[in-house]
Structures are given as structure tokens and as C-alpha cells.
Chains A and B, each alone.
Chain A
Amino acid sequence: MSLIAKDAPGQQVLLMGNEAIARGAVEAGVKVCAAYPGNPSSEIIGSLAQVGEDLGIYVEWSVNEKVALEISAAASFAGLRGLTAMKQNGLNVASDFLLNLNLSGTKGGLVVVVCDDPSALSSSNEEDSRAYAKLGDLPLLEPSTFQEAKDMTKWAFELSEELGIPCMLRSVTRVSHARGNVKLGEIPKDVREPHFDTTHPIIPLPVAWTHRSLHDKLAKCRERFETSSFNIYQGPEKPELLVVTCGSSWLYVREAVHNLGLEDRVGVVKLGTTWPLPGDFLRRHLKRAARILFVEEVDPFLEENVKAFCAENGDELGMKTFLGKASGDMPDIGEMNPDIVTETLKRIFRVSYEPRPSEYAQNATQIALQHAPMRQLGFCAGCPHRATYWAVKNALAMDGRDGFVLGDIGCYTLGIAPAGFSQVKTFHAMGSGTGLANGFGQLERFGFHQPIIAVCGDSTFYHAAVPALINAQYNRADFLMLILDNSATSMTGFQPHPGTGRTAMGQEAPVVDIEGLCRALGAHVEAVDPFQVTETTHTIYRLLQKGKGLRVLVVRRECALVRGKREGKLFQVRVDQQRCIGIDCGCNRLCTRVFKCPGLVWDPETGKARVDEAICTGCGVCAEICPSSAIIKEVA
């Protein structure tokens, strides 16, 4: 039984931040949860999907974040509680609907969880989603701990329901993808009847009225925030420095203050409700000190809004010295950590702090640098994408017209790296590879002759590539589309999607046929297995050479990790040490030096390649590329 469904009020459990958010939704009696996966948010819906059936919650993986928000909103319109969760990029996708929904208002509690990824640990950008709360006049909560993640989520539903607008909960990687103690609350048993009141259309018009109403709701929200227990002050009555912080930064500040022994000199205002600002609460504490340091991720959101607040309340609060991103006291990009805060406080207070002998620190750093080779990210052993990019690389070389690949978002984005033979030359947002291909595909009229390949994964295809493909067919854009169908949303944890034949809750589902859909558009469609490297190479080459207009090649092979979980190795693979010619002319370590699958090891002592049995997944592709037929694959 998953912990997030455990009916054990008062029990302490270890939950991931995302599970705590999911548990909070369960404790709020959520009924409809929909999302598109995206790290670091994926486990929220993922964990809810596992308990949905037992708890009577409808959980779905939707094709994209906008659709997911619309699904949750429909539940709200019918009086039920709905939740959607997404990463920062997802909010951009959903924002068009969100910035009308704020005006139209909601009924049942609707919570929009956004998990930002400071330092872009698993993202293509570093975006501070809090700007959307301000842009859309929406309540914004930011948990610092796992307990808060749960409790705030529950409260967010109540707040949303009371105010009649969606409530945003902003998490960050260090909350979402961290674990900590959570004391469980009650799971409600009440049952609501969904009903849509047909006498009251839910629309954003007339804007003059709905916008006014939204501002009134936000004012009411501010009142609620004034008394929230998520906003706290810790420190002396009159500190020398007041730190204003939120989210996981609060934990770093606490620890830095403690480690430096500054408990009597530094006061900390920790805000859990960050938009609208709780003015009275802030006024009380801002009076304590003339120097204020802001510690937050990533943009100076609190910093700028509190500064504006201080300016408005100048008579009462007096002159302040602000330290933060604008002053250069805190870094203005990237995530926070205890060390950054420690350094800043050390500088401000001119105190010294040495957690370990400096000699050791120097020595350890130097030894680690010298002996520990860096680990680049790469495709897993047996990943179909490696084989695909190998074929792409060969086909483009054979074609010889300086063709290139427009990338997209997924595991295969790593085609930019040596692991993918550096074939991918652009990547931006979901579906953008196809969109860009549309543009390049119109440039021939200006003398552009480089062949264009767009790649997208199966999940990305459903998410955002379809409209771009329709556009390509309609406007006769000239490019080759490779749909890398590995039958899973592998980047984010193997979530099912419309092509997998099952739903988030594990039920069978109709398969939305990629080839069929593309054929219906009128595109030329073929399919290959990337493990048939030669055939794939020649198919790509042929489609580059002979085609015109939109050509679609579905490159289909199940994700090695998904397959590996279900069954063992496809082949037993070994290197015949006699046949392997290593660095000799005629091979020069093609399999290790160029193909670089982590399942292979180069043994400098024997001058031969061998298979690392702990890593090899037995795809057998290396056996196909070995020029000496030294790599032997036998059916496992």
C-alpha cells in the first residue's frame, strides 16, 4: 500500500516532496488529477495514479499541460476538486488557458502545482514560474519542507474554493525530488455530486467586471495570508540583519546561520505565501532591521516585490539597505545551497568558518580532480536512440549535403552530446524541432539546400508535434520527420501515453496510431527498427534523397529500461578476443571509441574491447557495427 493512501493519521512517514503534495491533495479530497509528465513534477501524478483506483480519484496522463489543466478545471466547474502538476515549461504551455481561467473563476478547489528546476538539473531552461502568479493575479504558495508541501497543498484547495480562483503551488527540485518526514493527516470520506450549473456560464467576460472581481478576490486572499502559519519569523527581537526567504532556501539559511553561530544577530522571515504579499505580517517584521537580505530561487521575486512594498511604506519602515541579487550579494542565476548562503553571511558579518582543515579541503579537491574522470550524460546501454543517431549520422554523411537534425525534448535531446554523436543542432521547447523544420523546409526558394531532419519522441509527438506536422503538410514544408517511438515517456519515468495502450491508472486504452495519424495528414510514412542499423541508415538516406514535402519515418524500438524491467537480455553479447583487432588500422576501436556504448569496455592492457556484463543489456547493435565480426551475439 502506497504511503500516500495510508489511512494512518498522525503517523510519521518518509515522503518525497512530490508524494507529500499528492498526499495533501488526497487529504483535501481531490477527485480529478491530470498532468503531462515533466521533471521535477512527474511523481505527483505518478503516485496519485497508483492509488487513484483505491481512493476513488480519477488520474490521467494528458497529452499536454494545457489539456491537463483544462481537465482539472472541468472538475472544478462541476464542483469537484481538481489538481494539475507540471514543470516550469509546462506552465508556459498551459498559460493561455490559465490566464483566462483566472478571470472566469472556478468552483471546486483547483490547484496548479508548478515544480521549478533552479539550475536546470533536468530542464532546458531556468524559469521562475512565480511571475505567472503575479501576471495572472493568482494566490501563490511556496513550501519549504515536506510537511509544508503536504499541508499547503491541502490548504490551497480550501483557499481556491473559498476565493473561486485557481491557487498556484510552486515547488522546486530540492523540495519535489527530496524526501523527508511527513506526519499524515486524515483522508476525508465525504462524497460530492458533480454538477455544472447551466444557469451560470463560466466565461472571462465581461473583462472589465471579471478583472475587477479577480482583484477583489486577491485582496481577500491577502487577508487570509496575513494570518497564515506558513509565514514565520525566527530570530532576535532586533537583529542586525533580516533575511527574507522562502522555499528550500529557508532551510539553507537556517543551517548557515546556525553553523556560523549567528542566531543572535540574524532574524529570518520565512514566507510560505508569496503572492499576494502578506503586508501586515511583513510590516511587523521589516521594522526589525535596517538591513535586509533576500535569499530565494531563482529570480528576485520577493526581492523586488518587498522592495516595492518598502517604498510604499517608507514613512513607517524607514530607510533600508537591501542585499540580494540586485546588489550582487546573492547569485542571480542557479539554485541556492547552504554554502552559498554561508559565504554571503560570512562576508556580511566578517566571521570566519572552517568546516574542515583547509589543507584537507585543498588536498581532497585536487585528488578528486586528478583521479575521478568526469561522467558525461549518455544514452543507457541498449538505448534505441544511440542506434538511431548512428544511422542518422551515417545517412547524413552519405547524403553529403550538410544536412542536420532539429532536436526536441526527451531522452533523445542527448543527441546534442557525444553520446548521440553530436547530431542534434537545435532544441528548445516541446514540439519545436518540428516547428523549426517547417521553417527550414520553406527556405529552398532562397537557395537553401541542406536536408532537414526533425526528431521527436512518441510522447512529444502527441504533446506538440502534431499541429506542426499538420502545418507542414498544409504548407508543403520539405523535411524528414523521425518519430523516435520507444513506447514510453522515458525521460521522466516511463509514463504511459496515447501510444502505449494503457492509461495512468493501468487500464487498457485505445492506441492512437502514429503512422495512421500521419498518413491521414497525407504524409509519406514508413517505419523501421533502429536496431536494424543498416536498414535504418539506408531508409533515412533514401527518404532524404528521393523525397519532397513531408516524409515521416517512425523509428520504433522499446526503451531498453522498460524492456529490461520486464524481461532479461535480448542477446548474450561477448567480444571474441581473437577476432577483435582493437586499435589496428581497419577498426581503431569503432565500438568503444566511436559508438561508445557504456556496455562496452576498452581494455588497454589487452588492446581489445570487452563487454561489461553488469551494464550490457544485450541489444546486439554493436555486433552489427563491428568490422571484424568480433562481437558475437547469441540469443539469451
Chain B
Amino acid sequence: MLLLEKDPLNVIITGVGGQGNVLASQILGQMLVQKGYVVTIGETYGASQRGGSVMSHLRISHKDQFSPLIPQGLCDLVVGLEPVEALRVLGPYGNPGVLMIVNTRPIHPIDVISGDAQYPDLEQVLKEIRSLSRRLWTVQATDMALEMGDPLFSNIIMLGALSATGILPLEREDLERILGELFPPERIPANLEAYDKGREAVQEYSP
């Protein structure tokens, strides 16, 4: 509940189309609504194809329905499913107090694949993110997900990691209930496992 003295608390979940960004924000939002918060989520994506930058804005409040778009410079927490996307949102939305949880696995844009652009050095990206934020947690979410057999688990792993930081009041039981509403029963255990793996991957936040 640490940061929720700030109202609204502004969270951006960002990544690349196809990474399960929208689902992650939906699950996170539902977990918080179950806790009694007023949540607004705005999704920002171009067309529905993969490959583009995707961003969800979450506004978490005790009392008010906020707009689905976070005003510039007012993001409190970034969950980055892809490192360069995490860095990108700091341009318009970052501030010195922003907290960052970032999956370190790059996804190369088409222009990088084709050679028209370069993907930056990962260490450099993380260094820049560190310099522009209050704190950075890194998670090898995609690698962990691939070990589990499906890269799509990475978004739930990231939610697990987020819960472990203690920044938001997230509870496993809430997740379990929401997964029950979203998925057939046979898919729930693996997702819970992903969540637990994410929880183990980072340490609690102490300012």
C-alpha cells in the first residue's frame, strides 16, 4: 500500500504487441478493484497486429474515476515487458521518482531485424533507466517463461514480481479468483506457478 498515499497512483504497463500487455493490465486492474479501488485503464496501441509498441495506463484511486490517459510526467510505476519500451515511456511520462520493473529480454523491431536501425546495448538501456528512475528491478521473465514452455507466461511472471515489491496491495488469492473468471480451470495452475516464480525473482521495496 506504500505508494497509494498518492492519489491517483499512475502505472504504465508497456511492451510489444503480442506480449500479453492488455491481459496483464486487465488482471492487475481487477485485482485492485477487488480490493476496493477505483481503477481506470487506458490501452494505447495502434492496429491490433503484433510488433508495435503497446502501453496500458492504469490510474488507481481511492475515490475517483480518472481519465484513461496519464498526463505527461506523472507516472509512478512502470512495468516494462520489454526493456526498450520501458525506456521509451520515460520520455513523456517519467519523473525522478518513478519505479521500474523491467523484463530484460529484448524484442527486436522490424527496422532492427532489417538493419535499418540498431537495437541498443542492453546494459546501456538499463543504465539509462536507472539514471532516470528511483529504482529499477530487472526480471528475466521471458527466459523463465520459456523454461515453463510458453513465452506468454512472462506477463504473469512480471505481475508476480510486481506483487513481491509490495508497491501495490496484490494478493495471490485475488489473482486465483480472477484467473478462474478468465481461463479454463486447466490453465490456472501454470499461471499461478508463473506468478510465484515472478514473486521469487525480486525483492521487496524499501524506500
Contacts and interface: CB of A to CB of B under 8 A. Distances in A.
Direct A–B touching, Cβ under 8 Å: yes
Interface of A: 1-3, 12-14, 39, 121-122, 145-147, 174-175, 177-181, 248, 251-252, 254-256, 259, 337-339, 342, 355-357, 360-361, 363-365, 367-369, 371-381, 411, 414, 418-419, 490-493, 589, 592-594, 596-598, 600-602, 612-615
B71 A339 contact: yes
B151 interface: yes
B146 A614 contact: yes
Given A251-B65, A367-B128, A372-B91, 18 more contacts: A1-B181, A122-B45, A122-B46, A178-B40, A178-B42, A180-B39, A361-B72, A365-B91, A372-B84, A374-B117, A375-B109, A375-B111, A379-B49, A419-B110, A598-B50, A598-B108, A601-B113, A613-B146
Given A179-B41, A355-B74, A377-B51, A13 B91 contact: no
Per DSSP, chain A at the interface is mixed
9 contacts: A180-B41, A254-B67, A367-B87, A373-B111, A375-B16, A376-B111, A377-B47, A491-B47, A492-B48
B77 to A, nearest CB: 15
Contacts of A12: 33, 36
B195 to A, nearest CB: 19
Contact of A255 (B18, B25, B66): B66
B179 to A, nearest CB: 14
A116 to B, nearest CB: 15
Kindly state the interface size class of chain B when it binds its partner: 35 or more
Nearest to B59: A180
B51 A14 contact: no
Interface in B3-53: 16, 18, 25-26, 29-30, 33, 36, 38-53
Given A174-B69, A356-B94, A598 B40 contact: no
Nearest to A380: B50
B38 A360 contact: no
B120 interface: yes
A121 B84 contact: no
Contacts of A181: 33, 38-40, 65
Ranked 3 nearest A-B pairs via Cβ: A368-B91, A251-B67, A355-B73
Contacts of A338: 67, 69-71
Contacts of B66: 251, 255
Contacts of A367: 87, 90-91, 128, 132
B132 A360 contact: yes
Nearest to A414: B49
B142 interface: yes
B138 interface: no
B132 A363 contact: yes
B88 A368 contact: yes
A13 B96 CA distance: 33
Nearest to B109: A375
Contact of B87 (A356, A372, A378): A372
Given A418-B114, A613-B146, A255 B71 contact: yes
Nearest to A583: B115
B206 interface: no
Given A181-B39, A419-B110, A145 B65 contact: yes
A612 B26 CA distance: 27
B68 interface: yes
B135 interface: no
A371 B124 CA distance: 9
A598 to B, nearest CB: 6
Given A122-B47, A596-B114, A248 B88 contact: no
B10 to A, nearest CB: 11
Contacts of A380: 18, 49-51
A374 B67 contact: no
A378 B125 contact: no
B54 to A, nearest CB: 9
Given A178-B41, A255-B66, A598 B91 contact: no
B112 interface: yes
Given A180-B39, A377-B46, A614-B142, A3 B181 contact: yes
